[in-house]
Every structure is written in C-alpha cells, then in structure tokens.
Amino acid sequence: MATNTGSVPASRQVFEMSGENERIIVTSALPYSEAVPHIGNFVGSMLPADVFAKYLRMKGVDSISICGSDQHGTPIEIMAMKKGVDPMALSNEVHEEIKKLLIEFECDYTHYGKTDSEENKETVYELFAALQKNGYIIETAGRRPYCPVDKRLLTDRFIEGTCPNCGAEDARGDQCDTCGHLMDPEELIKPHCAICGSTDIEFRETKNLALNFPKLQPDILEFVKSHSANNWSKNAVNKTLSYIEQGLKPRDITRDISLGFPVPVPGFEDKRFYVWFDAVIGYIGITREWSKERWQRYWKNSGTKLIQFMGKDNIEFHTMMWPGLLIGANSGYVLPHTIIAYEYLNAKGLKFSKSRGRGLNMQNALGIAPADYWRFALVHMLPESADTEFTIAGFAEIVNKIMNDKIGNLVNRVLTLARNNEALLGSSPEGARSAAVDAQIGEYSKNFDAIKIREALHNVIRIAELGNELMSAEEPWALAKKAMASEDASRRFKAAMASLIDTVHVLGVLLYPFTPKASLQTLSYFSSEGEPRLGMLSESAKLARGKEVKPIFSKITDVEIKKMEGFSTME
C-alpha cells in the first residue's frame, strides 16, 4: 500500500559544523573490482568525494574519507569467467590496481579498503543478527531464472534483457543502468543468459532471506522527511519519494551465488549474502579495517555527519535500503546526513568502457594528460543536475583556455615579474587584497559548505579573471621600467604587485582540492610546506626570493588530442 509521503523540503541548506565534538565521515560509492573504473565512474562519486574531503581538511574539520573495492558483485564473477581465473584472485588484483590509480589521481582517502575483509564480515554478521533479533528478516520464496546450458541460477548480471521501464536493451536482472529502475528478473523482456547467450531460460522456485521493508517503511519515510533537507541532491529526494509512494517491498539479502559471505542460518548454507547488503555495510567495515581503535569515534557518535557521494544509479540503495537496515538493526550507528547523487557523464564520440585496457578508463586517461588536468576538467563538467556530455573539444578548451590561459599564465607572469624585479618590490604594502577577491573567497567557502563543488571551482576561476583584469589595467611590466625614475610609477608598481602576489597566493590555496600538485607547486614559491589550510588566507603572502619559476599548467597538444581520439573507435 502506498504511503502518503507528505511534503519534503527540496531546497538545499548550507552545510555547517556547529559544535566542537562534531565529526564528518565522507564516503564514495564503492566501485566493483572487476576492472579499472572508467572516467564516468570516477567523476560520479570518487573524485567529488576526494575534492570535498580535501576542503574539509583545509577547513580544519575532524573528518575521515572512506572508499574501497566492492568485491562480491556478479560483474566480478562474469569477468573472471571470461578470463578463466579465480574471481577473488581477479578482484584482489584489480583492487590493488585501483588503489594505485587513485594515488596517481591524487586522491588520498583516509582508507581505501575492500568489502571482503574480515572486519566487514564481522560487521555484516553483527547487523544481520540485530535485524534478525528485531524481527526484520523474513523468508521469501520466489522464481529465479535458470540456464539449462550453464546449469545454474542466474543472479543479477548473469541475466540480461530489455528494460520494461525505458526499453534499454542491456538491462540486467536486478536493475537497469540506463534509467535506474529496480526490478525482478521476470520483468525483463526477451531475457537471455549473460554467460552463454541462451534465451532458453527457465524459472525455478528458490527461497531466500529478505529485509522486511514494508515493516520498515514508516521509519524510512520519517528518516527521508527529516534528513532530505540536509543538502540531499534533488534527484535523491524525488526518486526516493517516488519509490516510497509506490510502497516498498521485501528485498532479498541472500542469493544463489558463490561469491560473498556465507549465510549463518540453517537451510541457507549454500547461499551468500547479496552484494547490495554487504557493500553498503562496507562503509563501516572499511572504517574498522582502517582503525580498530578509532572507528567507533565516528560511526557511533551522535555528533557525526555522514556525507555520501554516488551516481544516480545508487540512490535507492543509499536513501532507503542502507538507512533502513541501520534503523532496523538499531545498533547505534549514525544514519546518512547528506546524500549527493550525480547524474551521468556521457561520452560523445568516445567509449567509456570498464573492460580493462579498453575505453577511456582511469588508467588510459593518465596516459593522455596529468591528474590535475583531469581533476579540474571533470569537476568543471560535473553533472550535478543533469546528464553532461564529455567531448574531446570540451576537455581541450577547459585545459587550454581556462587552466592554462586564465590561471597558469597569470601565476607564471606574476611570479616571473616578481622574481625579475625583487629589488623594486621591497616590502609589500598592507591591505593589498581587493574586495572583489575577498567576496569570491567567501563564496568559495559557502559553495563548498553547500557541497556545490563545481560552483566553488568557478569562484577560483573568477579570482584568476580578477587578477588578469588588474594585470591588464595596471601593466606592471611597464611600471617596472619607469620605477627607477618615477616615484609614482614605483608606488603603483609595488601596489599592483602586492595585490597580484596575494591573488596568486589565494589561487595556490584554493586550487588544492581540485589540482593538488599545481596548488603545492604555486605555494612552494611562498615557502609553504604541507597541505594548505584556509587560515593561510589571513596571513600575508611572502614570496621566497630567487626561486626559478616553472609553469603550473600547459596546453593540451595535438599529440595528446590524437591519443584521446584513439578511444573513439574502440568497440
């Protein structure tokens, strides 16, 4: 029966920490470890989570950022079959590859773990026992697809067909990736086995354990109504309310699969816990893997805010299933505070394929351009409210016209002018920062606090534009030539350079969440060491003398564009 959902505020409130004891957990949706994630996967959750976590550290917030490999999904089994290898061996190998690539992409999570850890297993069993004790686990009987050729029940991605909701021809047995529709395998139109391709599908009776969502629905609705104003993205609110309006159904937490944790219930020994169940619990398990001493300080603290980043295909799992199981278990864990679900970054004329070594994945991307370039450009394209097209031309324009021309050139020109005219500069006058730059710094913080990451990047770009406008208006290179003979020219040169040097320092600090390497390189000219903090903006910008100036960005070359174009013909 549908429930009256009532009204839920859709406006996004500004995120603030309001107490000394408050903490933040930032999570990113866990990528399946069957292959290296493609660029669309990366921008959909992992990158914005890292960008936001860096900002929190700059602000001095007590926070941790958690991510890891989802090791129990059917994509891993399918890939292992294709390669003729053991699924867990494949998963562990790819897990290490992803960890390495994240480091190369300058992502520094507090911990990047995995869902097959003993710590996650312990957490899964603990929460399952609590749900069982509290009466939220029920036994279900249903029909599951069976392939006579492969002689096995077909779970999730082992069966594919046409989506009954949107007509996409590559929907799988539990969800359509195109429209996000959750379904049972029997809903698929023209189903076929994903292993052998056979359309000779039988449906056989089987039993499973399920989470009783109808019983939890009133509590889940109350959770959504009380939390969705906390900076939830609009699609997360609307999609969740739509599902609740239709009435929630019991959702299996076990499956007839070989990959995953065994089910500790008599009669279900041949089952494994379903991937969605242990994957969301994995946020806790991975934190326990990080620190057995400190994990409860975050997960069992009423002052903690849990902020979660994901793609829109993960909405239902995080807005209903995940909080539902935490509510049902009643084990003292914090519930999600903020849920940010991004739309899709589509590739126009390119292949975004997760098959290893094929398509524009994270590994191939780094062979084209450095990590800073991808981080900046992808945040600039961040699909916050609608699907966004990634194009080669668009990427090149962002790198060449914004990163290089607006930001990089300003930094290089100011630092070079300062180095070449050290004798003229003397001590910089006080009050060099303009009100316009101050306003952009304020907006930067407001946008980050509201988790409007793309808008915060635009504040950085605007600061660079203000610097370029001042450079054009004052022409400090011309003033430097007149300074020895003119007191007025000397005064104007010093004032202009003081403001420009401050602007470069500001850029060095504020760029850090987006382009860590360029940020630290810029700040090195100010003898700054370590991760920058926002408090540095109230300190005077003192340049290190005699340091050789090197560009922080350069333009994308025709060779690099050709490399990217090579992925447009991949099958």
Which amino acid does the sequence have at 323?
P
Q: How far apart are CA 452 and CA 231, in angstroms?
A: 10
pTM of the model: 0.91
Determine the pLDDT at residue 244.
94
Tens-digit pLDDT profile for residues 455-499: 999 999 999 999 999 999 999 999 999 998 999 999 999 999 999
What does DSSP assign to residue 484?
A: T
- CA torsion 109-115-117-118 (nearest 10°) is 120
Q: How far is CA 533 from CA 349, 435, 536, 538, in A?
A: 40, 21, 6, 10
Domains 23-136+212-347 and 374-538 share a fold: no
Tens-digit pLDDT profile for residues 209-251: 999 999 999 999 999 999 888 789 999 999 999 999 999 999 9
Determine the pLDDT at residue 505.
96
Superfamily of segment(s) 23-136+212-347? HUPs (3.40.50.620)
Q: How many CB atoms lie within 10 A of CB 227?
A: 20
Q: How far apart are CA 485 and CA 14, in angstroms?
A: 53
Tens-digit pLDDT profile for residues 500-536: 999 999 999 999 999 999 999 999 999 888 999 999 9
Q: How far apart are CA 449 and CA 239, in angstroms?
A: 24
Q: Tell me the pLDDT band of 551, cut-offs 50, 70 and 90.
A: very high
Q: How far apart are CA 311 and CA 29, in angstroms?
A: 8
Determine the distance from the C-alpha atom of residue 510 to the mean position of all C-alpha atoms in its chain, rounded to a whole number.
19
Record: fold of 374-538: Isoleucyl-tRNA Synthetase; Domain 1 (1.10.730)
Looking at every residue in the chain, the average pLDDT score rounds to 90
Closest CA to 308 of 271, 335, 275: 335
CB 351 within 8 A of CB 568: yes
Tens-digit pLDDT profile for residues 355-391: 544 578 999 999 999 999 999 999 999 999 899 999 9
Average pLDDT of the segment spanning 63-89: 92
The pair of structure tokens assigned to 276 is 């969605």
Average pLDDT of the segment spanning 89-95: 96
**What are the φ and ψ backbone dihedral angles of 533, each rounded to 5 degrees?**
-130, 155
Residue written as token pair 């500790």: 264
Determine the pLDDT at residue 544.
87
Q: How far apart are CA 69 and CA 240, in angstroms?
A: 25
Q: What does the angle CA 229 – CA 25 – CA 532 come to, to the nearest 5 degrees?
A: 105
CB 341 within 8 A of CB 374: no
Q: What does the domain layout of the chain look like in residue ranges?
A: 23-136+212-347, 374-538
Q: How far apart are CA 508 and CA 464, in angstroms?
A: 11
CB 494 within 8 A of CB 426: yes
Determine the pLDDT at residue 174.
78
